[in-house]
A and B are shown apart, each in its own frame.
Chain A
Amino acid sequence: MFTEARKTVKFVLQYFSANLQSAMEYRGAFISQIVFMFLNDLLLLFFWWVLFTKIDSLNGWSFQHILLLYAVASGAHACQALLFGGSFSLGRTIAEGRLDFYLVLPKPVLLHVLVSRSTTSSWGDLAFSLAIFALAAKPSPGLILGFVALIFTAGVVFTSFTVLAHSLSFWLGLSTGLANQLTEALLSFSLYPEGIFSAATRLVLYTLIPAGFVSYLPVRLLQRFSWPQLGLLILFALGLAALARFVFYRGLKRYESGNLVVTNAAD
């Protein structure tokens, strides 16, 4: 089992490395996309900066909490986009019969589809996440490692939710519009403090649209660490990943090949 896990990690890292090398082939475009994405993320904070010149606290959330919220959410999104970028186009891959390529290879189908793509601009998200975290928390090297582990866990939640949303294509045909709306909802809720939402909305945000596990709980852990809360986060991430895997392979039984002859290259 240990050897199997090691092989899987090696497989993911090899794809990650190949994707990175491919993106760096066009050095100018690579660097400009990172820089512009960093600026793009930075400009998102402007609204909060203006708002916090008018108020001191938003139901217990300060500007520093907002910085941590953005650091976690953008870091989690970066982990998904850099390691599991294939998740964003999974619905189209299913509906257009492009899974054939992965089905004939001796690797886990879902993992292979997920790692086969990477979004270059998300290096900018990752740089933003780390920079904002360093600014807001003034962390020690140990805390930085803890932060990276947290955003990876939150990234697993993001990815699993995206897989669940895009797996609808097995039953509904091409439904990328709906899947994109669902993932957009998760991202949007992750970027606003939970203090503004009512108890009923929060219940939804810790279950159906799990923004609570993407950003609210990690921010709470960074503020005041607690083992039970960390355990809850890890348990939820693993549970959602298992559910996403189950739903995907259940849907795969309904998959029909389109006998499509295509070049399997990044769009």
Chain B
Amino acid sequence: MANFLSTPHPKERRIIFENISKPGYAPDISTYLTHGGYESLRKALAMKPSEIIDAVKAANLRGRGGAGFPCGTKWSFIKYDDGKPHYIVVNGDESEPGTFKDRYILHQDPHQLIEGLAISAFATNTHLAYIYIRCEFPHAARIVWNAIKEARAKGFLGKNILGSGFDLDIFVHQGAGAYICGEETSLLESLEGKRPYPRIKPPYFPAVLGLYMKPTIVNNVETLCHVKHIIRLGAAEYAKMGTPGDGGTRTMCVSGDVMRPGTYELPCGAVTLRELIFDVCGGLKPGRSLKAVIPGGSSAKVMRADETYKLKVKGPDGTMTEKEIPMLDVVMDASTLQSVGTMIGSAGVMVLDDTRDMLWALNNLNQFYAHESCGQCTPCREGSLWMSKMTTRMLSGDTLPADPGNLKNVADNIAGRTVCAFGEACSWPTQSFLDKFPEEFKRVDT
């Protein structure tokens, strides 16, 4: 098991991870029921579906899968009474490098997800849902299956749930080792039994033409767990934990060169990068200094330790002033990271210290993207491969003065020219590494 603090760090507020790695906590339904399990579902079934959606909106819940779309807004694209079948597909593909949170929910607290999913299905008039789990989590698939059967036997799933007249069936669907299936439309193709080539948007927005061309919600595992707690705590109480644009808590995954890597659940916007790295994660290894941080999964643009950002801040009198802040003072929430040119993404924070070679690190990521491109669009299929080949060659010492420029040129010609956001995901590392660490890419003719 990963490195979890046995008692939460004082900055943590464990809601989603309350029971993760807790001694004596098992993934079975009796444990869940003794911890207040399915009480929120009972409460939700007594509400009007529109009230649930309003609560999710008021809670300012943003998706935890990477794109950070407001969850309640996404749900309201589905028209309750349009006479069409609706589907919810849970994204448990968790394959963005640097992200390791959903795995713990799926393995250790599957009923939390099922309860959140059942509430979400009730709110959106959905009667069939699939939980898509990457096949590298074989135990998780069995554990979640078993939990579904338990929940059904107790009347929390199936026909006429708890006497409410509401029906819901859930099935587990396993992936087969392809990162692209985390992209929501690829995931739907995969679930339909086809090659998982992402669909072009528009017109194939899942809420309009989703699974089997019917209105569909795709949500991340963690996002749906939050729904349970919004109902349990009430929207106002939940929202209060975060910032106005980013409610609640967020599980942050920190990996790389820190003393205590791991998953920490923190109120949104509660810590700066400095507090996250030096306080929550116990700092860097002895004698090391910070070089770079990739803040939101491998696709997020890299931040350089000695850079500063100009941020607009609102004064007490309401006027906006510009303030220059060092990189370590950046607050870890969606809007701040966006305003400094990167993203919170999946909150997979990768920390690199001064011993790291940025060309080597970029080459590692480029190999990932070259391997995982689905191959549907020419710029992405060819470009990701070229970027990987170039950095591999450069790393072997065989560099040309034109390399950095060519590398950037390839990346610039992928982003914005592809069917899915993988195009951006694979060009952002190259663009930002070259931009922020130019000196590490010029190592010619010495």
Chains A and B belong together in one complex: no
